[in-house]
Amino acid sequence: MILINTKLETLLTRCKEAIKAHQEKQVDLVTERDDLIQKLNEKQQFIESMMKDRNSEEASATSLEVKEHFNSDITVLLHDKERLQEELESTRLCIRQLETDLELARKQQNIKTDFNDEIKHQQDEFKQKYEDLLTKFDEKTIELEKLINDKLNLETSNKEFQNLMKNYQEEILKDKQQIEQLNNEIGILKDNLSKENEQHLKSFDTLKTEYENLTNELHQTKQAKDNIQSLLDETTQERTIYKDKYQSIQQLEHTG
């Protein structure tokens, strides 16, 4: 159990660190993408400005030169833009998967901590009961075989032998029915445990909200306590001042 909890805590820490790293990488990629878009816009504006400054004859003569001058830069920028878009999408999907794994690890940690001991106890109890019934069944079977041998050896009457056989067969049938009932109870227990697991998963968010509310109430209570203590300190100081003044007045009256 300790090993499982340690592994889950390690997984939680690794998920948090991975999510943080990918979020930082996503911010850097978005910044780089915006810079590339800005460069593309500046190149486009520069080309348009040059084309407007020349007359129509010069424009036709220099158009090819301008395009060749910037085609390579634009191609590189467009390629970088596509690459950044792909990296952004990959990073977003990775963050989503890590967040899903983190939430699943938290739920598994709580569920295993609460139910592993209970499930093991129930399994051990039913296993022992099942083994006891099997032992009893074997004992009855041995007794039945012994009765058959005794009948042959002692030449017991057919009627007495049949009555004995009937009684033991009824007991064996009852034991079989008990075993079948036990198997049904085990199946019902498994279904109930599965439903309880689902219910605890649903209650997880509610318990988390209650915990946060209690934390807020505790913080507010501490602030109120501090305020009351401050008022008490101020009251004590005022009482001391009034006491000193009163004693001074008493001394003046006695002196007068």
Q: In the prediction, which pLDDT does 62 show?
A: 47
How far apart, in whole angstroms, are the C-alpha atoms of residue 256 and residue 253?
Answer: 5
Measured CA distances, 226 to 113, 118, 148, 238 (Å)? 38, 44, 89, 18
Q: In the prediction, which pLDDT does 179 show?
A: 82
How far apart, in whole angstroms, are the C-alpha atoms of residue 174 and residue 137?
Answer: 10
As a whole number, mean pLDDT of residues 119-127 equals 63
At residue 59, does pLDDT exceed 60? no
How far apart, in whole angstroms, are the C-alpha atoms of residue 142 and residue 171?
Answer: 13
| 19 conformational bin, left if phi > 0, alpha if psi -120 to 50, beta if neither | alpha
Q: Where residue 113 falls among pLDDT bands split at 50, 70, 90?
A: low
Q: In the prediction, which pLDDT does 131 show?
A: 74
As a whole number, mean pLDDT of residues 46-65 equals 53
Angle at 10 between CA 8 and CA 16, to 5 degrees: 100
pTM metric for this prediction: 0.29
Q: Where residue 213 falls among pLDDT bands split at 50, 70, 90?
A: confident
Q: Which of 61-70, 221-230, 233-242 has the lowest mean pLDDT?
A: 61-70
| 157 conformational bin, left if phi > 0, alpha if psi -120 to 50, beta if neither | beta
As a whole number, mean pLDDT of residues 118-133 equals 65
DSSP 3-state percent helix, strand, coil across the chain (nearest 5): 95, 0, 5
Other C-beta atoms lying within 10 Å of the C-beta of residue 152? 10
How far apart, in whole angstroms, are the C-alpha atoms of residue 111 and residue 109?
Answer: 6
Q: In the prediction, which pLDDT does 58 show?
A: 47
Q: Where residue 189 falls among pLDDT bands split at 50, 70, 90?
A: confident
Two structure tokens written together for 191: 């279904």
The predicted-structure confidence for 165-188, as pLDDT tens digits, reads as follows 788 778 888 878 888 888 888 888
How far apart, in whole angstroms, are the C-alpha atoms of residue 256 and residue 249?
Answer: 10
Query: Average pLDDT over the chain, rounded to whole?
Result: 70
Q: In the prediction, which pLDDT does 57 show?
A: 46
Residue ranges per domain, the chain? Answer: 2-236
Q: Please count the CA atoms within 13 angstroms of the CA of 64 that sit on its side-chain side.
A: 3
